[in-house]
Amino acid sequence: MVPQFLLDIKDFISQPWPWYVAGGMITLIMFLLLWLGKDFGMSANLRVMCAADGAGDYSDFFKFDWQSQGWNLMVALGAMFGGYIAAHYFSTPGEEVAHVSAATVESLRNLSPDLNFAEGAVPLIPDFYSWEALFSLRGILVIVVGGFLVGFGARYAGGCTSGHAISGLSALQFSSLVAVIGFFLGGLVMTHFILPLIF
Amino acid sequence: MRLSKYIFIGILLGLTLYKSEAVSWFRIYEMFHFQSFHMYGIIGTSVIAGILVVQLIKRTHLKSIEGKEIVIQPKDKAYARYILGGFIFGLGWALAGVCPAPMFILMGSGYTVFIVFLAAAMLGTFFYGVARKYLPHNMK
């Protein structure tokens, strides 16, 4: 028998987390990494993986001490475990929804006929995140082109959401503010002008 | 414990972004439509709390676990790369609905197609490494 208080804790964690809890947790993660003498930056892992795969033969950008970055790969591995644990132990099967606003439900309906969800029934994960979707134009654009732009843009800008928007802004770095403005300009152009063309 | 503590930190990150729905394509879509406070709340609280934490670290000269003073490396002052690179990253973020942390989280939660996303993102990073000498950075 599992003690009742453990089940209560499980139910408590399984609720959708409010924004202020998530925000506080992200700051805690950033602090823990700083305290351990590291920096919070997930996209740096992509550079480490390229270097470990021998990309240094093609560009000096990948000739660096990538072996010292194993800790960051462990954060990425932990994030995968965290995703597994959240999806398998701290979620209610069949009730994994994104609690988006009524206005968003309406916008999605206008974007594409197959994004026609009842209010409160927008899935957490869209169905174009699947292997089958790779055989459709939408799936290729989202997974392959999206991945390429994220990997290219993050390194060109010297960081992603964790490195610039969280760590950089917390340290009051002006260059991170410029990068975050870039993130939003790109995101707005994609969402408002390009997504309607391809969905 | 040398590396396993980082796995623990990663687990916290995965739980947080999954349970707060920040891994959802629909939440990113909503954010870029300014239709909910949720994502701004997450980023806003973490930055405001982060500013306080960084200021406390600086004022108290807090030492890291290795006994060294914690220094936050200033980014280089080169604005073309931040605005151009940031713009391209933003295009990808809004298209894919994920940035690098959710990529790992969703891969672990069972969406194995993110292996393809990871390969594409590595290819993008590789392409940057090869092409960077031709790209504007404004670096001195």
Q: Say if A192 falls within a structural domain.
A: yes
- Asked if residues B57 and B137 have their Cβ atoms less than 8 Å apart, the reply is no
Q: What residues of chain B lie within 8 A of the CB of A190, using their CB?
A: 32, 90-91, 93-95
Count of CB pairs separated by less than 8 Å, A with B: 497
Return the closest-CA partner of residue A156 out of B88, B94, B99, B140: B88
Q: What residues of chain A lie within 8 A of the CB of B59, using their CB?
A: none
Q: What residues of chain B lie within 8 A of the CB of A100, using their CB?
A: 24, 26-27, 30, 35-36
| In the predicted structure, residue A48 carries a pLDDT above the cut 50 | yes
Greatest Cα pair distance in chain A: 58
Torsion of CA A115, A116, A121, A126, to 10 degrees: -10
pLDDT interval class at A45 (50, 70, 90): very high
**Taking residues A30-57, what's their average pLDDT?**
96
Could A188 and B87 be called an inter-chain contact, meaning their C-beta atoms sit closer than 8 Å? no
Q: Say if A64 falls within a structural domain.
A: no
- In angstroms, what separates the C-alpha of A1 from chain B's closest C-alpha? 25
Domain tally for chain A?
Answer: 1
Q: Say if A105 falls within a structural domain.
A: no
**Taking residues A31-56, what's their average pLDDT?**
96
Could A156 and B35 be called an inter-chain contact, meaning their C-beta atoms sit closer than 8 Å? no
pLDDT averages per 10-residue partition of chain B, 140 residues: 91 98 98 98 98 95 89 81 97 97 97 97 98 83
Q: Say if A90 falls within a structural domain.
A: no
- The secondary structure of A58-91, three-state, reads CCHHHCCCHHHHHHHHHHHHHHHHHHHHHHHHCC
Instruction: Quote the pLDDT of residue B1.
Output: 60
**What is the reported pTM?**
0.95
Q: Say if A168 falls within a structural domain.
A: yes
Which residues fall within 8 angstroms of residue B34, CB to CB, at 6 or more apart? none
The ipTM of this complex is 0.96
Closest Cβ–Cβ partner in A39, A151, A178 for B121: A151
A54 touches chain B (CB under 8 A): no
Please write the tens of the pLDDT for every residue from A127-168: 999 999 999 999 999 999 999 999 999 999 999 999 999 999
Instruction: Quote the pLDDT of residue B140.
Output: 43
Q: Say if A102 falls within a structural domain.
A: no
Could B19 and A129 be called an inter-chain contact, meaning their C-beta atoms sit closer than 8 Å? no
Find the domain containing A163 and state its range: 128-199
| In the predicted structure, residue A23 carries a pLDDT above the cut 90 | yes
Instruction: Quote the pLDDT of residue A52.
Output: 96
Q: Say if A31 falls within a structural domain.
A: no
Q: Say if A133 falls within a structural domain.
A: yes
Provide the 3-class DSSP secondary structure of residue B1.
coil
Could A185 and B90 be called an inter-chain contact, meaning their C-beta atoms sit closer than 8 Å? yes
Instruction: Quote the pLDDT of residue A93.
Output: 75
Please write the tens of the pLDDT for every residue from A77-121: 999 999 999 999 999 877 799 999 999 999 999 999 999 999 889
Instruction: Quote the pLDDT of residue B66.
Output: 86
Could B96 and A47 be called an inter-chain contact, meaning their C-beta atoms sit closer than 8 Å? no
Instruction: Quote the pLDDT of residue A172.
Output: 94
